[in-house]
Amino acid sequence: MKKIISYIFSLSILLVALNSCEVDRTESVFEDLPSVRIENEISELRTLLLAQSQGFSGVYFPNNSVVGGINFHMNFTPDLRVKITSDFKNDTSLTDTRYEIVTGTTAAELVFTTGSRHITDLVQDGAAGFNTFFGSNSFQYAGEENGVITFKDVRSDGIFELFPSGFSDFDTESVASANTTYSSRLAFTEVDCTTASVFDNLVMEVNNGGEVTNYILNYNADNIFFDAETTDAQGISARQGFGVAFTLIGGEQALSISPSLEVGEQSFKNFILDLNAPRTQYVATVNGVTATISNVTLASPSGAELNNDITLLESAFLYRPALGSNALTSSCFNTLVLDQISANLDAAFGAGAFTFTEFQFIFNFNSDACDNFLFTQITRTADGATFNAFYCFNRASVSNNRLFQEYTGPFGTGNGPLLEGVYAPLIDFFNNPAGTSSGMLYTNEDTFRSNTSSFPNISGTFTKMDNQALRVYGLFFG
Amino acid sequence: MKNIKHIILANLVLIAMLVSGCSESSDTIQESQIDTSTPILSDLDVWLRSNFVSPYNIEISYLWGASNTDIARFLYPMNEGGVQRWSQTIKDTWIEPYNELGGDDFIAKITPRQIVYSGGFNYNPNSPTITLGIAEAGTRITFFNLDFLDYSDVNSIRRPLQTLHHEYAHILNQKFPFTDDYGLITPADYTAQWFNLTSQQALDLGFITPYASSQEGEDFVEIIATMLTTSKADFDAIVGSASPTGQAIIRQKQEIVVAYFQENFEIDLFELQELTYQALLESLD
């Protein structure tokens, strides 16, 4: 018995021994330890960054689901300093700050370790308080291909691609390039009031051999971002966001979007500025398919609301700058009417002596005895005293969903005649005689809202149809 | 007996096989994965080493990436150009006054080991507040919004110094806790909604600042921080603007704070106040 137990014991030991010697057949995915791989990446990245004596250029999209891209130019030196410029703001002068290439969680990281405003303004806008562009100062090295070094932003997953700048004098050419792209961005929202229309809309049209897909683009200049909406043949709408970057591609002014627009099998990313187009237009051509971003004048609303809101119009329509601004008041109305009145006041009474504080239009559809009139008010800076003036129109009328009325002259003998020339742009805006003009388009905009206020009062817009650049938004009261 | 010998022999052989048979690894001690190379030091780094690292064993951390902070918050390092002046300011207004009264190695013995400089604001999510500074485990103090220092404005410099004295007082409290009696003075008035109090409301309740009303530990260090960033006359004026009840409470708390410094560190807090305030004034343009 003892013998059997001893044999069983020995056999057990043997089994344990054999089992413990099992060869580990786990396959190694990587040849080196993670720390060694990251060390290699650090070395590789350092070599790449220092290989370009004239630095790199590239576009950084911090978060392409919310904001657009910024052009950067960077020149790295072995003493861990980097010169940087960008086109995020109008100050494109170079900063000279520090960088490091460090061991990140899973890869080498390029870290801008001291605060270059070109980097930190994207993290948190010092000038505007906590207004982040979702940027970071740490970028994970994702690899290099055909000279393009790709990084991933460790905070927002943004993409930052750098390629050799091609400059011969980094310090001057980088700043010049940033100035050019910054100007391109501003130009995109510039409005030519001689040709503009409030019914202009940015449209991205994809033409694939006659099959056209249109995207109506709502551009947010603060975030440099497109909100695109398209409607299919069944009338079903779809929305998509694109970060936008105004950049240079092969020396040409261009607009890049991120993510790319995918239409069928085509992918559109880079649009080149068409210098021959009469209005701003960017074009991308991929495999013979063309996508165009341009301003297109869309059909104006019918204006039928006017007929329903006649009673409402007989209360006072008020525009008062102190109530805040709304984009429905067109930039050309601001420029050609409001700013011009301010300039006229300055010319008549000295710079800053008076401020244009409000106007009202009281519509009347039954009387030609100056019951349909424009009320204006200015405030004297020195003591806050207000001065009113009234301008008469014959009765208002409605025809084909348009509002008509004709200016007849100032009321009384005081401020009205005195300030008639000052107020000429506003009087002209409301002067739309039946028979000789196209009238005014009215739209009901529900309750009042501006960048600083919101009130339950009904609000609306008036557009001068003979000069469709002019539209004003205000509220009704009384 | 012979069989037992055979069995023992066989088992010994098997054990030997167990010990040696599986040893395929030829691993040896390899080169360290820790980067021990000498970093590239700028003039600023050299200055910081000789003014903070060598004498006080304090690292001034002004070079850092997003991964070194709360990644969910949009923070960034301080502008390099302001680092030396701010470092000199905290040395003059904090280290030297404490060392003068507490002994040359006072700060070296009880100190945060790392001070982090952050350029932007640390906004608190879902709260109308910003965090001015953080003290972590008594070893690290982080300053925020240092890019916005204005040396021509005493209040601009006073605010981060108040943060420094506040956070350092927490570190002192970790070494020597203050008496529990302190928390019994205004136990019912501590509130998590401290930011809803105006300065006057806080004073009338017996708190030197609204933040002091958040909890007794903050209350204690806010007395210290306010004293060490104001003159005695200014501090008395602040207290004097409180209601009579508020004044009495603040003075009662101040007495405990003053006694705490005397008993634990043999430092006259009023004397320290004179030194720190004078240094604050001298740090300005």
**pLDDT tens figures, A207-255:** 988 889 999 999 999 999 999 999 988 889 999 999 999 999 999 999 9
- Rounded CA-CA distance B152/A472 in Å is 46
Q: CATH says A34-189 is which class?
A: mainly beta
HEC string of chain B? CHHHHHHHHHHHHHHHHHHHHCCCCCCCCCCCCCCCCCCCCCHHHHHHHHHHHHHHCCEEECCCCHHHCCCCCCCCECCHHHHHHHHHHHHHHHHHHHHHHHCCCHHHHCCCCEEEEECCCEECCCCCCEECEEEECCCEEEECCHHHCCCCCHHHHHHHHHHHHHHHHHHHHHHCCCCHHHHHCCHHHCCCCHHHCCHHHHHHHCCCCHHHHHCHHHHHHHHHHHHCCCCHHHHHHHHHCCCHHHHHHHHHHHHHHHHHHHHHHCCCHHHHHHHHHHHHHHHCC
Residue B127: pLDDT band by 50, 70, 90 thresholds? confident
- What pLDDT does B178 receive? 96
Query: How many Cβ atoms are within 10 Å of B36's Cβ, its own excluded?
Result: 6
Q: Which of A113, A119, A130, A132 to mutate to test the interface with B (most CBs of B within 10 A)?
A: A113
Give the residue among A304, A452, A318 at the shortest CA–CA distance from A377.
Answer: A318
Residue B15: pLDDT band by 50, 70, 90 thresholds? low
Mean pLDDT value across chain A: 92
pLDDT in tens, A114-123: 989 999 999 9
Q: How far is A149 from chain B (nearest CA, A)?
A: 19
- What pLDDT does B70 receive? 84
In a domain, B184, yes or no: yes
Q: Which of A80-84, A394-398, B67-71, B273-277 has the lowest mean pLDDT?
A: B67-71
B77 closest CB neighbour out of A13, A113, A134? A113
In a domain, B20, yes or no: no
Q: State the average pLDDT over residues A146-155.
A: 92
- What pLDDT does A155 receive? 84
Residue B88: pLDDT band by 50, 70, 90 thresholds? very high
pLDDT in tens, A88-116: 999 999 999 999 999 887 889 999 999 89
CB contact under 8 A, B77 and A114: yes
- What pLDDT does A150 receive? 97
- Rounded CA-CA distance A254/A271 in Å is 5
Q: Which of A38-47, A92-101, A351-360 has the lowest mean pLDDT?
A: A38-47
Closest chain B residue by Cα to residue A96: B80
In a domain, B194, yes or no: yes
Strand A281-286 with A289-297, pairing? antiparallel
- What pLDDT does A23 receive? 54
> What is the Cα Rg of chain B in Å?
27
Burial of A300 (0-12, 13-18, 19+ CB in 10 A): middle
- What pLDDT does B181 receive? 94
Share of chain B above pLDDT 70, in %: 88
Question: Could you tell me if B144 lies within 8 Å of chain A, comparing CB atoms?
Answer: no
- What pLDDT does B3 receive? 60
pLDDT in tens, B107-122: 999 989 999 999 999 9
In a domain, B34, yes or no: no
pLDDT in tens, A374-417: 999 999 999 999 999 999 999 999 999 999 999 999 999 999 99
In a domain, B10, yes or no: no
Q: Which helix (H) or strand (E) holds A24?
A: none
Q: Locate tokens 């990245």: which residue?
A: A45
CB pairs under 8 A between A and B: 107
Cα B214–Cα B220–Cα B225 angle in degrees, nearest 5: 100
Question: Could you tell me if A25 lies within 8 Å of chain B, comparing CB atoms?
Answer: no
pLDDT in tens, A7-24: 666 666 656 555 555 555
CB contact under 8 A, B4 and A137: no
Cβ–Cβ under 8 Å, residues B273 and B228: yes
In a domain, B189, yes or no: yes
Give the residue range(s) of CATH 2.40.128 domains in chain A. Answer: 34-189, 200-297
- What pLDDT does A439 receive? 97
- What pLDDT does A478 receive? 80
Closest chain A residue by Cα to residue B70: A155
In a domain, B71, yes or no: yes
Which residues of B are less than 8 Å from A127 in CB distance? none
A138 closest CB neighbour out of B15, B21, B67? B67
Q: How far is B83 from chain A (nearest CA, A)?
A: 10
First-to-final CA distance of chain B: 99
- What pLDDT does A90 receive? 95
Residue B7: pLDDT band by 50, 70, 90 thresholds? low
Q: State the average pLDDT over residues A293-297.
A: 91
Closest chain A residue by Cα to residue B78: A115
Q: Is the pLDDT of residue B23 over 80?
A: no
CB contact under 8 A, B64 and A113: yes
CB contact under 8 A, B18 and A138: no
pLDDT in tens, B34-64: 667 778 899 999 999 999 999 999 999 999 9
The backbone torsions φ and ψ at residue A223, rounded to the nearest 5 degrees and listed phi first, read -95, -5
Q: CATH says A200-297 is which class?
A: mainly beta
Q: Which two tokens stand for residue A94?
A: 């170079």
In a domain, B263, yes or no: yes
pLDDT in tens, A416-427: 999 999 999 999
Which residues of A are less than 8 Å from B66 in CB distance? 111, 136-138, 154-155
Look up the ipTM and state it.
0.79
Residue B53: which CATH number?
Answer: 3.40.390.70
B120 closest CB neighbour out of A20, A126, A136? A126
Range of the domain at B277: 43-283
A314 vs B282, higher pLDDT: B282
Q: How many domains does chain B have?
A: 1
CB contact under 8 A, B67 and A98: no
